Structure 1
Amino acid sequence: MNSQSTCDRFYAAACQVDFPPANNRTDIDRRVSRMLEMIDCAVTGYEPFFDVRLVVFPEFAHAAPVYATASELLSKLALPIPNEHTDRYVAKARQYGIYIQTGTFLETDPLWPGHVFNTTCLIGPDGVLAKYRKVHTWLPWEISTSPHDLPNYDKPLFPAVETEIGRIGAAICYDWLFPEAIRQLAIAGAEILIRVSAYMDPWGTASPMDWWTLVNRTRAIENVAYVVAANQGATLARYPPFSWPGGSMIVDFDGRILAQAEPGPGERIVVGPIDLAALRSARERRRGHAMLAHLRTEAYAAYAHPVFPAGRVARSSISKETNQTDTEEARARLEILHDSLINQSRNTVK
C-alpha cells in the first residue's frame, strides 16, 4: 500500500495487549511481531470504511520492569533507541503511510550510563520522529530515571512533533495525573495527545473511581485536543499484584468519548475518528472556553518554587528506598511552601 496523502480527517487505533512478562531481550522480538500483526489488522481490516493513520500501543508493551534494580534491567531488558525493533516499525509505517506511537521500551543511553528510561517513540514513514522519556515515574515502585532528575539534561522534556496528520505529543501513564505535564504538550501546539499507559485497578476503568476515563476526558477538555489513550490489558496472573483493565479510548476536544474498548483484560483494537479541521476551527473560533489563550501563566506563582528534587540522581542511584526518601523531602518542601503562601495570604488583609 502506498503512502497516503496529507489529510485532516482520519481514524486512530488504540491497541491494548496482554503479553506474559519479558525476562530478557530475546522475548521482545515476538512481542513486536504480534504488534506488527495488530497494525496490519487495524489498517487493512478497516480500509473499506476509513483510513487508519495513527496506531498507538500501551506502556510496557515491549518489556515491563520485572527486576528490582536498574542494573538488572540494564543487563537483561534495556535497549538503545533506535534499535532493530524500531527499524521494523519504521518499515511498517512506510508500508502503510501511517504513524505509530510505540509501546514503551526500557531504554539505555550511553550519554547516561547506569540509567534506564521508560521511553515511547513516535515513528513515521521517515523514521523515528520523537522519543518521550517518562517524566513522572510511578513512585515508589518505578526505578527508571526521569530526565527531570538528571543534572544538565538538555533535551526537551515534552516534545511535540509536526506530522502529516497534525501535531502530536505523547506522555506516559502517571504523567497524565499532572495537568501541568500535558499542558506543556498543548502549549507546544499538540493537537493529538497520546497516552501510552499501564493504568491498573482499582484506578482504571471500573466504578466508583474510574480515574482512567475521568483524567482522559479532562485533559482533552482543558487542552482543546484529541486524546488517544492505549492501556494495558494484562491479567493479574501476568504481573501480580496488579491487573490492568484496558478500556483504551479515543476522546474528542470537547471530552466526548468517541470509542472505547470494554473494560477487562485481553487484546483489543479500538478505532475512532480524528477531525483536525473541526479541532482547528474550534481553536481559531473560540472566544469562550479558550483555555490555552486564557492562561495567566505569571499568576501561578507557586510554580516558581521547586517541590520534587531535581537532579536527585547526582546524589544516589534510584531505588524504591530513595524514591520514598525523595518523596518525604518533597513533602517537607511542600509544607514550607504551604506556610509561606498562607503567610502571604494573611498579609493581603492587613
Structure 2
Amino acid sequence: MKVGIVQFKASVNKQKNLDKITSYISKAASKNATICAFPEFMMFYTNSSQSAKQLANESESITGNFVSQICKSAKENQIQVIGTIYEKSRKKDRVYDTSFIVDTSGKIISTYRKIHLYDALGFRESDKMTPGSKIEKPVNTSIGKVGMMICYDLRFPEMSRSLAIAGSEVLIAPSAWVKGKSKEEHWITINKTRAIENGCYVIAPDQTGNIYCGRSLAIDPYGKILLDMKKKEGIGFVDIDLNLVEETRKVLPLLQNRRTDVYSTLKI
C-alpha cells in the first residue's frame, strides 16, 4: 500500500494553492498511491500581519469550494486524500485548524480540529484560532487504520498514545513546523519517538519555505526513517506494510505492558 506525501510552500493565494494540490493528487494517483497526504495550512499562507478577522473572512466551511474541489479530484483520480483547511467557527474572528480525510468516492469520512494550539516559542495561534474539543476515532483507510493529529499535537504523547490504544496503525500529522533553534532536531526526534513508543507508522507532511522547516517524514514502527524530504517542494512515496505494525507490537509490546493499574497512584 503506497502513500504519497506532499511537501510544498503555500502561497497567500488560495486558488493557486488549490491548483497545485489537485495537480499533486493526480500525480500521486498516476504513481499508484492509494492515499495522498498534505501538510497543515495548505489552504494559504497567513503571515503575522494578517489579522484574525481577515483570516476568518478567508476561511471556509468543510463543505465549501476549497474542500469540494479536493473531493472532486479525489473521486476523479480514485485516490484517498488527507488535507487541511482554515475552517469557519462560530466564535467571532476565530477559525479551526482542521484536517479531513476524503475517500475514493469523494466523500469526507473524517474531520479533526486541532486541539493543541501553538501558544509557545513566541507564537500564539489562539489569537486567531479556536481549539477543537475532541480526539477523533481512527478511521479505516487504504493504508490501514489512521489516527489524525496536527503539528503541535505531536509534542503531547498522551494524544498519540490514545490514538494507538484506539487502534491506530498509522498516525498522520499534517504540519507546518516553524524554523528555529533546535526545531528540526525536535521535529525528527518527536516523530521517531511517537512511532517507537506506539509501534506504528508516523506520516508527517510538512510545509517548506516561508517560516517553515520542511523535512516531511515517514517513520516505520521501529523508528526507522523511511523518507526525509529535506527542503524541496514535491511528492515522495512510501510503502506501508501493516504486518510490520503487528510484528513490532508483538516483539515490543509497549501498549500491552502498560501498568494502568499503577499510574493513578501518583497523587498530584
Q: TM-score, normalised by structure 1?
A: 0.69
CA contact (8 A) 2:29 2:78 kept: no
- CA separation of 1:68 and 1:299: change in aligned 2, threshold 3 A: farther
Q: Supply the distance in 1 between the matched residues of 2:258 and 2:93 (Cα, whole angstroms).
A: 39
- State the secondary structure of the residue aligned to 1:52: coil
Identify the match of residue 71 of structure 1 among 19, 34, 53. Answer: 53
Q: Which residue of 2 aligns with 1:294?
A: 257
Is 1:32 the equivalent of 2:11?
A: no
Deviation at 1:94, TM superposition (A): 2.0
Q: Supply the distance in 1 between the matched residues of 2:25 and 2:5 (Cα, whole angstroms).
A: 10
Q: Which residue of 2 aligns with 1:269?
A: 235
Deviation at 1:85, TM superposition (A): 2.0
Deviations 1:13-60 (A, max 9, x none): 21111133x2xxxx312211111111222331x3xxxx3112111111
Q: Which residue of 2 aligns with 1:142?
A: 125
Deviations 1:210-264 (A, max 9, x none): 11111111101111111111111123xxxxxxx21211121111111112112x2
CA contact (8 A) 1:91 1:125 kept: no
Q: Which residue of 1 aligns with 2:85?
A: 105
Unaligned runs of 5+ in 2: none
Q: Name the larger-Rg structure.
A: 1
Q: Supply the distance in 2 between the matched residues of 1:298 and 1:115 (Cα, whole angstroms).
A: 41
Q: Supply the distance in 2 between the matched residues of 1:71 and 1:244 (Cα, whole angstroms).
A: 23
Q: Supply the distance in 2 between the matched residues of 1:63 and 1:297 (Cα, whole angstroms).
A: 43
Q: Which residue of 2 aligns with 1:160?
A: 138
Q: 1:305-344 maps to which residues of 2 (within 5 A)?
A: 341=268
Q: Supply the distance in 1 between the matched residues of 2:28 and 2:104 (Cα, whole angstroms).
A: 17
CA contact (8 A) 1:158 1:181 kept: no
Identify the match of residue 16 of structure 1 among 7, 18, 33. Answer: 7
Q: Supply the distance in 2 between the matched residues of 1:113 and 1:295 (Cα, whole angstroms).
A: 43
CA contact (8 A) 1:86 1:128 kept: no
Q: Write the letter of the residue equivalent to 2:226.
A: L
- State the secondary structure of the residue aligned to 1:41: helix
Deviates more, 1:157-166 or 1:119-128: 157-166
CA contact (8 A) 2:82 2:99 kept: yes
Q: Which residue of 2 aligns with 1:179?
A: 157
Identify the match of residue 119 of structure 1 among 68, 93, 98. Answer: 98
Q: Write the letter of the residue equivalent to 1:294.
A: N
Q: 1:186-225 maps to which residues of 2 (within 5 A)?
A: 186-202=164-180, 203-205=182-184, 210-225=185-200
Q: Supply the distance in 1 between the matched residues of 2:66 and 2:116 (Cα, whole angstroms).
A: 25
Deviation at 1:118, TM superposition (A): 0.6
Percent identical among aligned pairs is: 28
- State the secondary structure of the residue aligned to 1:55: strand
